[in-house]
Every structure is written in structure tokens, then in C-alpha cells.
């Protein structure tokens, strides 16, 4: 195989800039076909992005002989069904995050991947940002000494659509999203902590609804214990003051501290003793491009990238534990 012909199931907003264009930019990668249930919207996407083949039925992607691998960018409720069907059809899968609605569904996907021998990748693409690779290098080189604890604080305001109780965004419908904005956004943060500090072995969480804008959780907190013995403290709210948003992660060690953001759009700082350094690392225009490039190389046998389905499932386990589901 000289190139990977990709098919997309669910060419919605996330595909516009974050991921879709990358499949045509990456070397030895080609966007062969796209699918969306709405015929007008899928036609519009295909025409704007120069994709010749477009469909309204996922099976037309999954069983398409011209498609080598499949990117699933639908809401989480369909991740497991589509991924399992594609894997059983012999098609490698790159699926959006969170991996599925819950940890049990993640395990079902992993089992099918293992049984079929077909690789499954999950779009925790921040692990491939130069920004986080630099942070990991600093940690691994013990520039801040032995890691003691990690602190995570997120304060985001409600969105205009959140106030529409008659027609809420799908992110606020648990049977579609798995939960609220916590499932959509915090999964990236928890995955980066897994990447930087290793797996979590114990979790205690609390969740509540404080603002009353919608019925599901809008405020959460958790304590984490990593396999290494590192402790973590996390807090999230998605109903905060728009003028006081906060996106802060801190890794504290015996010799210093790292401060950074999950969005990777601000310089991160390294404090050791009285000295403080700031690092500016460019964020990719198409944020999923670095990971899509590595996945494509892996499928072509040009690198040794392992499927990250196990670490993605670990993140689902942590979220389920925080929500009292495990």
C-alpha cells in the first residue's frame, strides 16, 4: 500500500479545521469519501473540501472498497457501534474522543480490535503537540525534580445554546454525549495527565449542578492517585463568569513547577528556584494533523506507533469513577 485512502463518518464542525483538511495535507494520505446523514450538509462539505465521494449512510464508507481506513467524528453514542462495525469489516479506525459513552463500551471496542487484529486509534491528539512533548521532556529530564502533585483548574462560561431547554446542544444530552461538557472537554486534560504522569490507579470525585442552567452536572471535583504515587487535585466548572475563565494545569516537583494550559495557546512557564522561564511553542493550525500523520505512517508500516486505545479507555474509566459509575 503506497497511500491511505481515508473515509470520514460524521463530517460536522470538528472536521472543518481541526481534522478534515489534515487527511489531504499529510503525505501518503488522501480523503476518499465523507458521510453525513444530512444530504445537503454532506454535499456542501464535500464540495468545499474537494472530496469527490459523499454519502448519507455510514455503510457506504465502511464497506467501500476504495476506503482503506475510517475516521469517526460523530457524537460519542455512535463511536462504539461504528468502530466495531468498521473493525469487523477489516478497516483501521481513528475515532474521536471521548472514545465512547463509557468504560464498558471502550472495552468492547478494544476486544474487537484485538480479536480482529485491526488497529484502533483515539483522537487524543494533544499528545503529539510540540507544546506537550516539550513539557514531557522537562518532566522526564527531572528538571523540576521528583513530581509531588498535579493541580488542574478549569472555569468556563455557559454557552448561549445552553439556555435553550427545549432544544439543548447534544453535548448536554448524556445518552448522546456520555455526560455534559465534562465528558467533551475534560477528557483531553485527563489524557494529558496520563501522558505526562502515567496511569491513574485511584479516583474519588464529586459532581453537582450549581447554576441551574440545565439539569446535568456543571461543576465537578476529583482527587487522583497515580500508579507512581503522585497525587492530583482537579476542579471544573462550565457555568462560570465569562470574564474570569481559567485553563490552568500545574505540575509541582521537589525542584520547581510547570504551569501550562490544555489549549496550548499560551506560553508555559518553568519555575526552578528564583528563576522562571517561559516557552512559546507553536500550535498546529489543524490540531489533529500531527497525530493523523503518525497514524497514517503507522498504517503504512513506516513507524512503530502503537494503538492508544488502552490509554483512551483509562481516561474513560477515570471519568466514570468521577461520576460514580464504577
pLDDT digits (tens, 9 = 90+) for 266-306: 999 999 999 999 999 999 999 999 999 999 999 999 999 99
Please name which of 62, 15, 317 lies closest in space to residue 194, comparing C-alpha atoms. Answer: 317
Residue with cell 489533529: 288
Give tens-digit pLDDT for 149-197: 999 999 999 999 999 999 999 999 999 999 999 999 999 999 999 999 9
Q: Is the pLDDT of residue 1 over 90?
A: no
CATH architecture of 4-125+287-305: 3-Layer(aba) Sandwich (3.40)
58 Cβ neighbours under 8 A, 6+ residues apart:
9, 35, 82, 85
Q: What's the sign of the alpha-carbon dihedral 175, 176, 178, 183?
A: negative
Strands 231-237 and 219-226 turn out to be antiparallel
| 3-class state of residue 297 by DSSP | helix
Q: Which CATH superfamily is domain 130-283 in?
A: Dihydrodipicolinate Reductase; domain 2 (3.30.360.10)
Q: In this predicted structure, what is the pLDDT of residue 235?
A: 98
User: What CA–CA distance (Å, rounded) separates 319 from 326?
Assistant: 9
Residue ranges of the chain assigned to CATH 3.30.360.10: 130-283
Give tens-digit pLDDT for 47-86: 999 999 999 999 999 999 999 999 999 999 999 999 999 9
* Count of CB atoms situated within 10 Å of the CB of 154: 23
Give tens-digit pLDDT for 212-222: 999 999 999 99
Label residue 326 by pLDDT band (50, 70, 90).
low
Task: For 245, list phi and psi in degrees, rounded to 5.
Answer: -70, 155
Q: Is the overall model pTM greater than 0.85, yes or no? A: yes
Q: In this predicted structure, what is the pLDDT of residue 295?
A: 98
Residue ranges of the chain assigned to CATH 3.40.50.720: 4-125+287-305
214 contacts 162 by C-beta, under 8 angstroms: yes
First vs last C-alpha separation in the chain? 42
318 contacts 190 by C-beta, under 8 angstroms: yes
Give tens-digit pLDDT for 86-139: 999 999 999 999 999 999 999 999 999 999 999 999 999 999 999 999 999 999
Amino acid at each position: 500500500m503506497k497511500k491511505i485512502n481515508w473515509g470520514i463518518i460524521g463530517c460536522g464542525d470538528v472536521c472543518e479545521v481541526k481534522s478534515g483538511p489534515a487527511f489531504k495535507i499529510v503525505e501518503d494520505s488522501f480523503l476518499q469519501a465523507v458521510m453525513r446523514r444530512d444530504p445537503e450538509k454532506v454535499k456542501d462539505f464535500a464540495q468545499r473540501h474537494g472530496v469527490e465521494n459523499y454519502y448519507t449512510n455510514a455503510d457506504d464508507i465502511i464497506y467501500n472498497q476504495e476506503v482503506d481506513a475510517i475516521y469517526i467524528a460523530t457524537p460519542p453514542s455512535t463511536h462504539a457501534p461504528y468502530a466495531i462495525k468498521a473493525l469487523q469489516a477489516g478497516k483501521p479506525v481513528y475515532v474521536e474522543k471521548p472514545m465512547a459513552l463509557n468504560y464498558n463500551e471502550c472495552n468492547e471496542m478494544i476486544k474487537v480490535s484485538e480479536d480482529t487484529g485491526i488497529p484502533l486509534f483515539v483522537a487524543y491528539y494533544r499528545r503529539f503537540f510540540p507544546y506537550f512533548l516539550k513539557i514531557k521532556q522537562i518532566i522526564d529530564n527531572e528538571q523540576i525534580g521528583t513530581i509531588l502533585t498535579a493541580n488542574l483548574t478549569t472555569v468556563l462560561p455557559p454557552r448561549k445554546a445552553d439556555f435553550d431547554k427545549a432544544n439543548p446542544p447534544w453535548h448536554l444530552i448524556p445518552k448522546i454525549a456520555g455526560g455534559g461538557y465534562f465528558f467533551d472537554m475534560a477528557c483531553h486534560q485527563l489524557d494529558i495527565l496520563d501522558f505526562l504522569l502515567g496511569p491513574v490507579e485511584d479516583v474519588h470525585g464529586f459532581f453537582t449542578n450549581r447554576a441551574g442552567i440545565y439539569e446535568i452536572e456543571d461543576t465537578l471535583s476529583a482527587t487522583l492517585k497515580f500508579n507512581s504515587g503522585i497525587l492530583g487535585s482537579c476542579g471544573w466548572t462550565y457555568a462560570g463568569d465569562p470574564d474570569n475563565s481559567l485553563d490552568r494545569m500545574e505540575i509541582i516537583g521537589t525542584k520547581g513547577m510547570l504551569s501550562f494550559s490544555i489549549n496550548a495557546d499560551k506560553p508555559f512557564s518553568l519555575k526552578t528556584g528564583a528563576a522562571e522561564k517561559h516557552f512559546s511553542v507553536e500550535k498546529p493550525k489543524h490540531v489533529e494533523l500531527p497525530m493523523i500523520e503518525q497514524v497514517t505512517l503507522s498504517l503504512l508500516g513506516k513507524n512503530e506507533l502503537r494503538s492508544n486505545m488502552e490509554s483512551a479507555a483509562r481516561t474513560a474509566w477515570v471519568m466514570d469513577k468521577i461520576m460514580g459509575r464504577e
